[in-house]
Amino acid sequence: MPEVSQVHIDAALTNVCVAYSNPNFVAEQIAPPVAVRKQSDRYFIYDAARERFRSSDDKRAPGAEANEVDFALSNDNYYCEDHALESVIPDEERENADPPIQPEIDRTEFLMEKIILNKEIALATRIRTGSDIPGETLSGTSQWSDYTNSDPVAEVEAHKATIQEAVQVVPNTLVLPYEVYAKVRLHPKVTSRTQYLDLGIADVSALKKLFDVDSVLIARALKNVAAPGQTADLDYVWGKDAFLCYMPSRPAPKRVAFAYSFVWTMAPGSVAGHVVEVWRENRRKADMIRVQRYYDQKVIAPGAIYLWKNAVA
């Protein structure tokens, strides 16, 4: 009688395979995409001196001219850089691939996710290290992981006023990297206020109500900081810094926004600013695949954000 191992030859399963993918990215929610027709251009900034908020004498005597008032108009620029990565699909790989392996689809998704990760890292770095970003560095008893002395609810409420004074809008988005979220949702000053909401759990829905914002974003994206060829060492892209900001419901003229992502949607060969190209390299006996995105993440109104560095220990 044959052995069990002799009646079955191991083969790749067609309904199960393992792929490691990043959790939700938040860069395009913090800096909403704005479609532009040209790779570079300028945009107007209305009334940076806030003349419309200044009280002016509007009394006019009979026959006299009214007091003349006006505002200043300035501008700034953007430039959508080309962000591209490519990969090779050897003929041998394509011909020998088992059913779960889809070389072109797998490469496209892989390259696109790496470009999106770079975008996430770039925005996180810009916010966390920018000298123009208002905020403070917490330490010791002021950190929100100190459940006895700190009060994240009071901190957020206080700095809503900071943002409103700076840009005259009420901030509507709180961004909590996962390590911050994990501590804040268990903070006694949070749980004591949310214990009667829904199931009594301080989840995202409860935190939106508690902090009185339209959106609470949990930044979970990870980056591998190990050298190539070494064992993976994953770190959170957004670290332990939290921030409050204002984002409009949609990009529009004459509207304040903390940041925008200008996307060159008319780039040659692109679909909404995305380019995927495949071509043949006969000398390599392989197909090449390249993914491109043209964009510029631009801080528009630094006053529309408040950053807490090292929000938790």
**Strands of the sheet with 215-219, listed across from one edge:** 135-137, 305-309, 242-245, 173-177, 215-219
Class of domain 4-59+67-309: alpha beta
Residue position matching structure tokens 């901190």: 155
Q: Smallest Cα–Cα separation from 306: which of 172, 135, 154?
A: 135
Confidence of residue 8 (pLDDT cuts 50, 70, 90): very low
**CB atoms inside a 10 Å sphere around CB 26:** 22
Query: Residue 9: is its pLDDT beyond 90?
Result: no
| Amino acid letter, 120 | E
- Residue written as tokens 């390299």? 281
pLDDT at 111 exceeding the cut of 50: yes
Percent of the chain scoring above 90 in pLDDT: 63
Q: Give me the half-sphere count of Cα atoms (radius 13 Å) on the Cβ side of residue 90.
A: 5
CA distance 99 to 305: 48
pLDDT tens sequence across 170-223: 999 999 999 999 999 999 999 998 887 766 678 899 999 999 999 999 999 999
Beta-bridge partner residues of 135: 307
Q: Contact 259/123 with Cβ under 8 angstroms? A: yes
Q: Which amino acid is at 27?
A: A
How far is it, in rounded angstroms, from Cα 151 to Cα 223?
30
Whole-number average pLDDT of the chain: 88
Each domain of the chain, given as residue ranges in start order, spans 4-59+67-309
* Predicted pLDDT at 105: 86
Q: Which of 208, 251, 184, 242 is nearest to 26 (CA)?
A: 242
Region of residue 140 (left: phi > 0; alpha: psi -120 to 50; beta: else):
left
